[in-house]
Amino acid sequence: MPGNDIIVIGASAGGVEALTELVGNLPQGIPAALLVVLHISPTAPSLLPEILNRAGSIPAMAAVHDDVIRQGHIYVAPSNHHLLLTEGGVIRLTHGPKENRHRPAIDPLFRSAAYTYGPRVAGVVLTGTLDDGTAGSLVIKSAGGVIAVQDPHEALFPDMPQSVLENMDVDYCLPLSRIAPLLVSLATKPIEKKALYPAPEKVMIETNISHLAESTEEVMDKLGKPSTFTCPECQGTLWEIQDEKLIRFRCRVGHAFSPHSMLAEQSEKVESALWAALRSLEENANLYRRMVERERGLNNNLLAARFEENLKDTEYHIKTIRHILLKKEKPVFQEKGKIPHASS
């Protein structure tokens, strides 16, 4: 039996530094293929392959659609595409729906690897905000694979590894310096012979969604139950999905959210709407001021007073919205060093 020779790694904020150190500690010729998702801007090309090539001895490259993975190589998700793994080690790049506000996202890679390779998969979650990677880690673990997370106490942004720790029993919680030796050990040590992984129907459905498969209401009902919430991306109905302790949401189109990522997306949409409302109200206020001045010049004092009253109401609304927009709020993600202790 092979070892854990399919290694999938996810990172977000602070991930370039973490991945650089991790790859720099890996030996050339490791008997595993490594696939990496780093949250990046959808409009800029990823420079991560070049950075990783300078950092270590393992060749790193941008993943290419229909390429077949090889051991001793690193494949990096390109911008604005999900990186998926299929039968025969064939890479698929899709422009599927965003998950947890990102494309590429970590969960689709983890899910597709577990669906295809079951217990041969080792998943690693590094530094990052919010909780992408948690749902995918649950799938890897249920498939008989191994999950390791960076110790949140040393991560630049502890949210992602901390979320995994809070929602499942991880196999390893380690400082970054100890993750590379672990991966070498997992890749070289044959895994125990296990029965063929019977992929649950839910995993198959969600993997197919990442491949842009059409999903009907009947299909979505197999994942969960319709909720009272609407998708922040497309305004469609969201289905509530229960994964052990983790609650998730997915719409029929395929956009997927954890509660934290949905709150972040909703907050962004609300802020955009408030700025638009503020602009419109300020234009109204300017017009009311001109009308007050004009009517007073024409000695239409009654009409001027009515416009002035409307102006006061508008200025009150402007002040209220400005207060909401400009007040300081606590960040959604946790600051380093302000988290409960995680056992390793």
Rounded Cα–Cα distance for residues 135 and 315 (Å): 46
Query: Of the listed 5, 107, 132, 159, which one is catalytic?
Result: 132
Helix crossing, 15-24 with 176-188: angle to 10°?
Answer: 50
Quick one: DSSP state of residue 130?
Answer: T
Q: Is 132 a catalytic residue?
A: yes
Q: 146-150 and 82-86: which strand pairing?
A: unpaired
Of 5, 12, 131, 255, the catalytic one is 12
DSSP H helical ranges for the chain: 15-24, 48-55, 106-117, 134-142, 159-167, 176-188, 201-210, 217-223, 259-297, 301-326
CB of 155 closer than 8 Å to CB of 19: no
Residues 126, 129, 133, CA angle at the centre, nearest 5°? 55
Q: State the maximum Cα–Cα separation within the chain, in Å, rounded to a whole number.
A: 94
Which among 39, 82, 102, 260 is annotated as catalytic?
Answer: 39
| Distance from C-alpha of 200 to C-alpha of 153, rounded to nearest angstrom | 34
Lookup: tokens for 113: 């690897």
β-strand pairing of 33-38 with 146-150: unpaired
d(CA 29, CA 27): 6
Residues 127 and 161 sit within 8 Å (Cβ to Cβ): yes
Active site residue 39: yes
User: Catalytic residue at 65?
Assistant: no
Report, as residue numbers or ranges, the catalytic residues. 12, 39, 132
